[in-house]
Structure formats: C-alpha cells, structure tokens
Chains A and B, each alone.
Chain A
Amino acid sequence: MRKKIWIILALAFIIPGLLFTASCAKKAVKDDAAMTQQAEDEAAMKAKEAAEKARQEELARQREIDEQRLKDEAMMKQEAKDMFLNEDIHFEFDSSILTPEAQLILKKKAEWLQNNPESMSTIEGHCDERGTSEYNLALGDRRATSTKNFLVDLGISASRLTTISYGEERPVDPGKSEDAWAKNRRCHFTIN
C-alpha cells in the first residue's frame, strides 16, 4: 500500500516536472540563438566603439605629445635665445681678458650661433663708471673685440658679428658698489 503512495507522489511530481521541462527546453533553444546574435552584434559594436575611442584617444595623446614636444622645443629654443641675449660675460677691472667663466658662456653662445645660422649678433662692450670716459670707450672696444675674436676662433663667421663700445655710458646698475661695478663690466649680446 505504501509503495503505491510513493509511486503516485513520484508521478505527481515528475510528470508535471517533465512537462515543464519539455516546454522550457524547447523555448530556451529558440531564445538562445537570438540572444547570441544580439550579443555578438553588441560586442562587435562595443569593440568598434572602444577601438575608435582608443584610436581617438591615441590620436589626441599623440597630438598632445606632438604639441608638447613642439612647445618644449619652442620653449627650449626661446630659452636658448633668452640665455644668449641675457647672459652677459663679465670682466675684471681695467681688463679685456676673458675669464674661464666667460669662456664657458661664450662656448654656449657659439653653439647657439651655430644652431641659428641665419642670426647676426652685435657684441656690446661696457665698463664700470670708475676711470675716465675716453679710456673706457677704448676699453669697451677691447672687450667687445676680444669676445668677437674668441667666437671667431670657435668657428663663427666674423661677418655675423659686429662690435660696439659704450664705454661707461650705459651701466645696467647705476649703483656705486663693487657689486654694481662688477655687473657693469660686461659684454652684452643682441641679435640684429
């Protein structure tokens, strides 16, 4: 008697289960195919988008790098030019001899002139206010000339370099201290 109950219970569960399973299975097959297709499409699209985005990003990045590089180059060029223009060489009192520091600076200037072969430069010779005006005009001339000769020896064409002496007429620092005088004993470069 008990066996019978178990079978009935089993049937009662299994049959609807089977029925259910069958119907389910059938439907699942059909849905699966559609979904795969759609997913593939979506994936492809996404990939494409991603690729495009990546490409764009890469391009932007590249552009940025290029821009930065150009900017850097321009900046370096400007810096080099500024340095050429702003970095004076200095002298001892009543001397037109180029100090080792002055020679180092002049080597950089020669490099710049070599990198900018179209540029012409004027070398201004200046003195401090001590001493007398006439002698200082001659001393400023000696300073500018010895500076020019040094650059010519480094391979810069003499025709690209002009000299002018201002003697003590144009100090950068009007002060009356050793500091001011040291600043004023100089050769200054300009680009023509």
Chain B
Amino acid sequence: MKICRTLIAWFIATLFILTIPGVSLAGYDYIDITQPYLKKLPIAVPYFKKISTVDDTDQLSRTLSDLLSDTLDFTGYFKIMNREAFLLNPQTDAGFANVIFHDWTSIGAELLVTGGVLVKDNLLEIELRLYDTFKEKLLVGKRYKGGISDQRRIIRRFCSDVIYSLTGDRGIFDTEIAFVSTSSGTKEIYICEFDGYNIRRVTHTNSITLTPAWSSDGQWIAYTSYARGKPDLYIKHLKENRGTVISKEGINITPAWFPNKFDLAATLSFSGDPEIYLLTGTGKVIKRLTNNKGIDVSPTWSPDGKKMAFVSKRSGTPQIYIKNLDSDQENRLTFQGNYNTQPSWSPKGDKIAYASMEGGLNNIFVIRIDGQSPIQMTHNEGDNESPSWSPDGSLIVFSSTREGPSRIYVMTGYGTDQRRLLTLQGQQTQPKWSPRMTQN
C-alpha cells in the first residue's frame, strides 16, 4: 500500500519533469574520472528563490538548497563554495532565472546551481538549473512536482542528473548501504540510504548476524546468522516475506551474489574443509569452485562474472587469489604483507580493494587486478576493515575504529575525503554498498 502510494507520488513527480530547451549535451569533460579528486570543481549553490508567498517557503528553500549541496558534496567531486562570498541576493531575479555569470566567475565558481521553489496546497514545485559559469551555458534544467515528503527524492534525482552531465555516470544517489550493528545488544543487519539517512533494522535474530550481501537487483540480501545456533546462510527477500536457509554441517558463510543472476558463491565446510561453492538462490549446490585443503573464503566476483577473487591460506598466510572460471586457473594477487583478506572487486573491474593487517591492525588497500602497485588508503587511524565499492566505483565504504568504537566511514576510491557516515549506538561493522535500485 505504502509502496503503491510512493510510486504514484513519484509517477506524478516524474510526469512534471520538463527538460528546459536550450540545454546542450555536456561532453563529460568536467570531471576526469581517472583522477577526479586532484582538482575539486568549485560549485556555488545559493539559497533557492522562493516563488510562492507562503510563509514557510523561506525555511523550505534553505533546507532544500542545503540538502542539494550536501548531496553533491558527498560525491567528493566538488568544492562547495561558502555562501558568504556570494555577490548577490538570491531572492532577486538574478538568483534564479536571469543569471549574471560574471557575478559567479569573479568569485571563482565554475559551476552554479540555482533553484526556484513554489509551495501550493502542500504540493511542492521546484525548478533546478545547473550552469557552467565560464561557458555561460545551461547544463541541466529540470522542473519537479511532488509532495513535500518527496523533497529528498527530488533533490537526489536532480543531483543524479548533475553527476550524469558531468561524468557520464548516474552516480550513487539511489543506492543504500547494509551493515551490521550491535545497537540492539546483538549483531543485526541494518540498512540506510547512501548518505547515512533513514536507518532501519532488517533482522531480528537476537543472535550473531554477519556479512550482508546484496543481489544485483537489490531485492535480496544474503547473510550469515546464528539464529538457529550455528552459522547458517540466510537468503532473504527485502520486501516480501520469503527466502531460504542453507544450513549444512559446519560453517555457511561469506555470500557473494553472482552478477545479474539469482546465484551466489559462499563458503561451506560440510566436506570437513572450508571451500567456496556456487549455489542457486534457493540453496542448491551448482558446483564447487575451490579445491584446496585449508581455508578458502570471502569470494568476490568480477563485474562480468568471469573471474572470482577470494582469500586462501594455501601459501601459509591468508592472501588474495583470482580464479579464472573459464580456464580454472588460480593466481595469487597479493604478495605484500602477511595477512590480506576481505577482497572487494571494483564495479569497473580494474581494481580490488582489500584489508591488509600489520601489527594487529588492518588498513584498506586498493590493488590493480594485474597485481601491480597496491596503494594504501588508510593510515595510522585504528583498525580499518571491510571495504565495499559504490556501484559507480567512485566511493568506498568501510569500517574503522579511528574514533574508538567501530563505525562506518566513506572515502573516495582514491582514499581522499574520509568521513563518518552515521552515528548509531553500539558498534557498526561490515558495510556493503548496494547496487543501483532504479535503472535510469
């Protein structure tokens, strides 16, 4: 019922999106996605102009413009400019429709977002525009109509268009992050939106629950729980009350969904030894993927599903290996350090993030899949674990004890802009970034 209503509201909102004439196709040359954080783009987001005379529009226009700049800031691509430096009053015409570009280039703003807000009968109408101030060009112009409660979705939708026009990728604004938290006293799985907003609890096992993993369509999560007294693998639909439990003898752990299929890899030890298997989403073993006495654990798939990285102790210490599923060949990837675990294959397919332990503490590293030049992302800030890429490959979410208890942090794929995602009672671990929930 709720979903239905939301859908209708969104449908209405979408109906009213107008692409403003005169928008030219951007060449995606604003943000060099191979080195996007070396130079942050200075962007100005003045308070949106209120078009209606309703009293609380003032507050709303401030809230919306703050939300927009926070949302853009989250990507790490921008330098959000201080509003005190702005030369004009946003409530004039020049604040929205008739932009005087010189006012912005003279303070160094390369991009500008203006907005107009109209509130009528509890309905919200927003028009938002992205300008290139130096080229004096409108890059994105959209008008949205919806309920007051749709404001987050509207802002995220526009930000998605902004990022698309600048990078050619839709970004991460319709994604979520699953993680483990001890807020209730036991380890349970929670989900929040990409920016830490709207936290909700997913499991109520009153036991140890670990390692959430998203299916490619974002509809299912797989995780390990001791709900029945031992580590079993649960496959659960997030909206409907259905799923499967894989409860073989020994451990049933570390699920990793196969790209775009209802299959997943997981570690099972019913044979007497932890090995990685390919399973159907209903829990049937399709085939065994590793065959080596000793620990094989933590699979992660290349985006094309042709390769799988995993952790093995076959050389004496835990190291990351890559298995080519066509040739059955397995090659060791990591040679630096004595304890490399938790591989996470990047969505672009060219890198693997992992945790490397030295002196009892883990740090996040990113290595190319040819094994060249591992780069350390975290330095001397507690224990850093469980890296997971955002679906556009721009950000990495991970857990860290840098402020005492373990919490969830986000950084860019190059290790910059490290910040805490959320504050919650207890400790938070094992974050996993979802795929995109809607296909734009």
Residues of A within 8 A of B (CB): 94, 130-135, 137-139, 141-142, 145, 163-166, 169
Contacts and interface: CB of A to CB of B under 8 A. Distances in A.
B405 interface: no
Contact of B295 (A133, A138, A166, A169): A138
B430 A138 contact: no
10 contacts: A132-B362, A134-B311, A135-B298, A137-B231, A141-B251, A141-B269, A141-B274, A145-B269, A165-B250, A165-B251
Contact of B342 (A130, A134, A138, A163): A134
A169 B180 CA distance: 13
A163 B430 CA distance: 25
B251 A138 contact: yes
B341 A142 contact: no
B254 interface: yes
A133 B427 CA distance: 14
B274 A94 contact: no
Given A132-B342, A132-B385, A137 B317 contact: no
A135 B269 contact: no
Contacts of B230: 164
Contacts of A169: 187, 208, 210
Given A133-B385, A139-B295, A169-B187, 8 more contacts: A94-B318, A130-B360, A131-B341, A133-B429, A134-B253, A135-B295, A141-B251, A165-B250
Interface in B188-238: 208, 210-211, 224, 229-231
A153 to B, nearest CB: 14
Contacts of B253: 134, 137-138
Contacts of B428: none
Contact of A133 (B251, B274, B430): B430
Range of interface residues on B (Cβ < 8 Å): 35 or more
B355 interface: yes
List the 8 shortest-distance A-B pairs measured between CB atoms, nearest first: A138-B274, A138-B295, A138-B297, A132-B341, A130-B360, A141-B251, A135-B341, A134-B254
A166 B311 CA distance: 19
B318 A135 contact: yes
Contact of B298 (A94, A130, A134, A163): A134
B272 interface: yes
B26 interface: no
A184 B355 CA distance: 22
Interface string B276-297: 0000000000000000001111
Q: In this complex, which of B229, B254, B273, B295 has the most chain A Cβ atoms within 10 angstroms of its Cβ?
A: B295
Contact of A134 (B229, B272, B341, B357): B341
A31 B317 CA distance: 107
Contacts of B294: 142
A33 to B, nearest CB: 90
Given A137-B253, A141-B251, A131 B357 contact: yes
B167 interface: no
A135 B299 CA distance: 11
B37 interface: no
B272 A145 contact: yes
B384 to A, nearest CB: 11
A150 B140 CA distance: 69
A67 to B, nearest CB: 41
Which of A133, A164, A165, A169 gathers most chain B CB within 10 Å?
A133
B339 interface: yes
A132 B342 CA distance: 8
Contacts of A137: 210, 224, 231, 251, 253-254, 297
Interface string B373-417: 000000000000110000000000000000000000000000000
Nearest to B251: A141
Contacts of B341: 131-132, 134-135
A130 B231 contact: no
Interface string B341-357: 11000000000000101
